[in-house]
A and B are shown apart, each in its own frame.
Chain A
């Protein structure tokens, strides 16, 4: 409380009682200093504070920090003082910190002398309305999509109030088609008057655009459609805002309230029937009937609606305008009877025009009695509600169609197989559209024929069996290339295709067909068709429904295919696993075999070698330096060289079997690759002195690292002997280079080279695909070499041109991590 005496007068029980009745508005009385003096229950509800928490507090606490920072509260009060009243729409803050979109009006309260004594602040929570505006704004981007599905009439305008879009309901209510209306000022398309005074009503779009606020329309507004039809409507308008809040246009949503107000309208009619009848001569057929029900009086609207002139109608019994079946059921007489006894009869039913066509009539029959109470006749007011009924029918039909699409969608989701979905689709279409035949045709792999996969109404033996041509002269072929749904009004007059085949045979007159696409594929699944034996015109809704069913089928196809694909992948993976297991088993068996075989080979070799050496020794001792001794010596050397080769082969076999089993162990010691190479070369030159191949070495950088000496010797020996063996006697170059983390070694020969087709497999061992020559040619050496290098974390590469020579490059990390052991099956 501020304690300012003159403001206390607002804090009275009377004021409270009055203010508390207002619930939708937060009402505060604010002192000159901006502090809250009192407030109402609505304020508590909207702001979330208790009385003791807020009375005496500055009103700025309802503002956002940004607004407070900008001095907005004080500015508002100053404006209210100056102008008497200020209104603002903006964010306000609740007790819990949440924000709400508020409409705030601050009115300066002045004393008799005109001095401001306090402020009355009225706040309305517009959040809901703002949410709606925002939803509208968001939907603007996809407005064209949603616009057309809204049950109310919707017209969108640009910022100048010119029509940009309208949906089918709006088209119907205004009598304008969208194509014509676009670009027209809203006032021309959306022509509204006061229903009672007939005065023009200000178009809400103008206000929406000028004020940027959503507005409702006054009651008793009537929309005059292009053809003069007048409909009571309820509407509202809202701005369409851009991302920055700028107004891009307005959207007008309106609906025909006649149906809402029918009862009320009927009552009013009965009360003021005569006046109304005369006032509404345009739309209401008005006639007076004598007590027996014969026409005594016939107005121009009656003539217009029924087609009967006054001369023709007058004197006829009212039953002339009823359909025969209703006359037979004595309906006209019963309605007159009801009106006579209860004063009034109102109802809707079919009537017959002069040309025998029917129209849906809303009729009110009122008994007219003289002052003495004697029945002198009936006043009959009839309105042509055919269009209205058709619209309702359409809505109902559309609802049924949507339910049918939804049902098919649910069914499709629950089914893994396509066939039942196709069968359900043709059933649903037949039932919903009331057609006689329907079908799903599947395009066959040859692309020239389509198979009748599912259908309703076809003679026995066709479904699942019959094929039709996909050629351009057939309906199916035409549908496949048309893209859009193809509608047939009368098959006998069709010029777009000539082959009617099965359709003609089944007496088809009308129908439609659409392509069933396969999502993500260019080739369609096939064609979906529905046909009737009677002339039938399909509405836009029917076509949309039909297309929707085709789309459900398409999605089902996509899903079934995706599932099949998954199953196939699963099967493949399973087979792959089995194959891998078999391969691994084979590899394991081979390793065991190799290991045993090697051991078995080595044992007799040991005996053979020792026997030979023993014999050699013996001969040497016996024959000494004689010529026979020298010949024997040479033969023993030859024989022993063969046992050496055999031992070497056995050792390699053992190496390979160990590597294949992943048992290659690396014992690292500090080595200098250069000195290793030089040692080997010295040894090598001694052994292979007869080959006379020149080997040149180039060294650059630090060539030290931590490697397995014995294994690297194996590698170098293998590569060097290959280079010499296949080098054609030309010099072999060895280049060793120390890099940052690795040492590379390149051995280049100028020999016969390796055919490019073989390059990929020279490092392999037992691949089934590898030809026997692979073994016989380069042998196991390169395979062992590769595995040794990999065990060091290194690599080996080869490049070669036949006739030009071969270059092997190895890279050895100075201290590498061994690559994970791999088995041959995957190498």
Chain B
């Protein structure tokens, strides 16, 4: 599997949602690292040498929620430059995203079209990987 584009860090507590996003992104040629909460995500990106080009961040999660992760990320000079797109089911997700100084937001249920457009904006066009 060829990964021409940047890595995506996907922080989402729901396994099904995380897997679904992961699948479609990988299908479209993106490398995706999954994390089940903010703490997992921090641990992962601090230990890996390859910094992600984009963080897709769910807000309501156990252990460490989205805003806490975002605060820690912004406090870390090695991480603060990574753009964050908020995933939210909240009707006021737009405001929340703005308050977290996120680069964008995706409202759940997420349409594939919008997901790919957003990720493409930060990670470059993916390479479709369409085999069964």
Interface residues of A (CB under 8 A from B): 599, 602-611, 613-614, 617-618, 621-622, 643, 647, 654, 658
Contacts and interface: CB of A to CB of B under 8 A. Distances in A.
A334 to B, nearest CB: 116
Given A610-B21, A610-B112, 18 more contacts: A603-B14, A604-B17, A605-B108, A606-B14, A606-B109, A607-B19, A609-B111, A610-B23, A610-B115, A613-B113, A614-B27, A617-B27, A617-B128, A617-B130, A621-B128, A622-B130, A622-B131, A643-B109
Given A602-B109, A613-B24, A614-B23, A607 B17 contact: yes
A610 B110 CA distance: 7
B23 A611 contact: yes
Given A599-B89, A622-B132, A614 B112 contact: yes
B16 interface: yes
Interface in B84-108: 89, 91, 108
Contacts of A618: 27, 130, 132
Given A599-B89, A614-B20, A621-B128, A605 B109 contact: yes
B1 to A, nearest CB: 15
Contacts, number: 68
A606 B20 contact: yes
Contacts of A607: 14, 16-17, 19-20
Contacts of B131: 622
Q: Give the 5 A-B residue pairs with the shortest CB-CB distance, closest first.
A: A621-B130, A613-B112, A607-B16, A610-B20, A614-B24
Interface string B9-21: 0000010110111
A621 B128 CA distance: 9
14 contacts: A606-B20, A606-B108, A607-B16, A607-B19, A608-B20, A610-B109, A610-B110, A613-B113, A614-B20, A614-B24, A617-B112, A618-B130, A621-B130, A622-B130
Nearest to A614: B24
A378 B86 CA distance: 135
Contacts of A613: 24, 111-113
A603 B28 CA distance: 22
A604 B111 contact: no
B111 A603 contact: no
A603 B130 CA distance: 26
Nearest to A616: B112
Interface residues of B, number: 23
A603 B89 contact: yes
Contact of A602 (B19, B28, B89): B89
Contacts of A614: 20, 23-24, 27, 112
B17 A603 contact: yes
A609 B109 contact: yes
A633 B33 CA distance: 30
A298 B28 CA distance: 151
A613 B128 CA distance: 14
A603 B20 contact: no
A611 B20 contact: yes
Nearest to A658: B91
A643 B21 CA distance: 16
Nearest to A663: B91
Contacts of A647: 109
Given A599-B89, A618-B130, A654-B91, A609 B14 contact: no
Nearest to A599: B89
Contacts of A603: 14, 16-17, 89, 108
A605 B89 CA distance: 11
A610 B111 CA distance: 7
Contacts of A658: 91
A604 B115 CA distance: 17
A622 B109 CA distance: 26
Contacts of B115: 610
A610 B17 CA distance: 8
B105 to A, nearest CB: 14
Contacts of B128: 617, 621
A610 to B, nearest CB: 4
Contacts of A608: 20
B8 to A, nearest CB: 14
A602 B90 CA distance: 11
